[in-house]
Each structure stands twice: as structure tokens, then as C-alpha cells.
Amino acid sequence: MSTVHHHPTDETLGSFAAGRLDEARAVVIATHAALCADCARAISDFEAIGGQCLEEVEPVAMADDALEKILARAGNAASVVLRQTPDAPGPEVKLPLSAYLKGSIDDVEWKRVAPGLSQSVIEAQGYRQGVLRLLKIDPGTEMPKHSHKGNELTLILRGAYEDEIGDFGVGDLADLDGEYTHTPKAIGDEPCICLIATEAPLKFKTLVGRIAQPFIGL
């Protein structure tokens, strides 16, 4: 039974299947799909529908297929060590994300950006407006309340956080647009590690958030 409760919107899955997401967001969706059978199936369905549509229109030059590109890169890289459930250490799960890391998540070099908050920016080759990074939130730490100028995808790789939407555990994905304001707080005993792709810088609602923003570089 799947333990994943939060998924990308159909719009995001459809854009991914059509190769219309920037690389940063495509990596997050491909990594989620590797952990979520429902979304992997939905992407296949979208691809099948997309294929049918293509047969009905004049051929045009297509964008690179994001999933194929990412999976091809993933094939040559070391596995990302990811426990399948937070409580029980499971077998290593090979993720599309592994192509972008030098080793496992345990080898990531963190840069502290605020009390209880560290990040590691990931180089996504050829990405356009998307920014890809890992964020580590220490247990009990609450991020400053913020909204977003564009779409933000957050995938939980370790630990858990809670916000106004609910609880997010390993494999869960938050697909948030610019309208939404939230205050994620890490819960449980271990740091919460998230893979985040942002389309545009965050807009902080509080003074402390605005002061911290240049340092965090969000």
C-alpha cells in the first residue's frame, strides 16, 4: 500500500509528460514518480494521450523529453540512499535525483542559511527559470511564513513536516502556486530533508523572513 498522500496536480503531471517543465521541476516530479506508483501511471496515461493528440496535428519540432533525459543521466550515477519508510530502513531506492548528487544524501555538503535551516543548491544543467536545491529543516524548526511568485514543488526525502495543508512524509509532494502562503515546520526526531524546485524567489510575509532572504538566497 502506498504511504504517499500528497501528489502533484494533474496540470503539473501533464506538463511533465509533455516535456514542458523546466529541468529543476522535472527532476522533482521524476523523483516523486519513482516513489509513487499512482503518479507514474498517471504520467504514462498523459503520455499516451499526448501521443494520440500528436497524431492529429501537423508535426512540429518538440522540446527535449524531460523524463528520458533525466532517466538516462540517472542510469550512470550512484544511487541515492533513501529509506522507503521513515521508521524501517529499507533497500536503497534508485532515484532520478541521484544523477544530480555526488554521492548519497548523507554526503551532501550543507550550508547553514538560518537557525535550524541548511541548504545545498543543485546544479541542474540547462535549466531555465527553475532553481533546484535540497533544504534541511532541523526538528522543531519553523520556516518563515512565505508565499511564492511562481510554482514551487517540494518533495520530502527524509523526515517530515507539517504546514497549513497537513503532514508531509517521505515521498509526499507539495505542488504550490503563487497564491498559497504557508509555514512549514519540521516534525519528528530527525531533520526533514526536502528537494525543492522553485520557479521564482519566495515572497516572505514577515520582517525576519525579508531580512533573512538575501542570506538564504531563496
Minimal distance, residue 157 CB to Zn ion, in Å: 14
Report the nearest approach of Zn ion to the CB of residue 5 (Å).
9
Residues numbered 172-211 forming contacts with Zn ion, rule: CB under 5 A: none
Give the residue with the Cβ less far from Zn ion, 36 or 193.
Answer: 36
Q: How far is the CB of 184 from Zn ion (least distance, A)?
A: 19
Shorter beta-carbon distance to Zn ion: residue 18 or 114: 18
* Least gap, CB of 196 to Zn ion (angstroms): 17
User: CB-wise, 30 or 137, nearer to Zn ion?
Assistant: 30
Per residue, what are the HEC states of 179-194?
Answer: CCCECCEEECCCCEEE
Closest CA to 87 of 162, 173, 5, 160: 160
Residues in the chain: 218
Compose the 66-105 pattern: x for residues touching Zn ion by CB under 5 A, - for all others: ----------------------------------------
The stretch among 3-11, 18-26, 102-110, 145-153 that binds Zn ion (CB under 5 A) is: 3-11
User: Do residues 66 and 21 lie in contact, with contact meaning Cβ atoms separated by under 8 Å?
Assistant: yes
Region near Zn ion per CB under 5 A, out of 5-13, 14-22, 54-62, 209-217 = 5-13
Looking at residues 16 to 45 of the shown chain, list those that interact with Zn ion (rule: CB under 5 A): 36, 39
Q: Which of residues 7 and 25 has its CB atom nearest to Zn ion in the complex? A: 7
Please state, in angstroms and rounded to a whole number, the distance separating the CA atoms of residues 135 and 119.
4
Nearer to Zn ion, 1 or 61 (CB): 1
Pick between residue 18 and residue 39 the one whose CB is nearest to Zn ion. Answer: 39
Chain centroid to Cα 119, Å, comes to 14
Q: Assess contact for 28 and 153: CB atoms under 8 A.
A: yes
CA distance 128 to 102: 22
Q: Point out which residues pair with 203 in neighbouring strands.
A: 147
Q: Assess contact for 45 and 151: CB atoms under 8 A.
A: no
- With a CB cutoff of 8 Å and minimum separation 6, the contacts of 213 are 201, 202, 204
Record the cell numbers describing residue 150, joined without a space: 511562481
Count of residues in contact with Zn ion, rule CB under 5 A = 3
CB 204 → Zn ion: shortest distance, Å?
29
Distance CA 162, CA 67 (A): 29
The residue ranges that bind Zn ion (CB under 5 A) are 7, 36, 39
